[in-house]
Amino acid sequence: MHRRHYAVSLQQASEESPMLAKLAALTRDSSDRLRCVAPLIPAPLRASVQAGPIDGQTWCILVKSNAAAAKMRQLIPALQSHLRSKGWDVTSIRLKVQA
């Protein structure tokens, strides 16, 4: 294995590694999904929500508190419908409260 002795940017590394390229693409996709549904999330709640991992047709949204998760649970059907109308194949949205 050939080791580099100089720094490379994250973009360079992701372009040269299929695994990193896939992770970078999933991260961009997750962020794009959150931007797409942000208008459906009440403004005071948006700061408590972050894009999370994508696992197949399941998207995870990270929330900062149980209260935020409770409100987001009510929005899940609308978020899924909106994402599907924009071309994303999302069959479920999972919420994860960050400690």
Tens digits of pLDDT across the chain (99 residues): 565 677 777 677 666 777 877 888 889 999 999 999 999 999 999 999 999 999 999 999 999 999 999 999 999 999 999 999 999 999 999 999 997
In a domain, 19, yes or no: yes
For residue 94, the model assigns a pLDDT of: 97
In a domain, 5, yes or no: no
In a domain, 48, yes or no: yes
| CA-to-CA separations, 88 to 5, 16, 30, in angstroms, rounded | 41, 27, 11
Cα separation, 99 vs 97, in Å, equals 6
Q: What are the start-end ranges of the H helices in 1-99?
A: 10-16, 18-37, 43-46, 66-85
pTM: 0.80
In a domain, 1, yes or no: no
Domain that holds residue 50: 10-97
In a domain, 55, yes or no: yes
The total number of structural domains in the chain stands at 1
Q: What is the CATH number of the domain that holds 74?
A: 3.30.300.130
In a domain, 3, yes or no: no
In a domain, 58, yes or no: yes
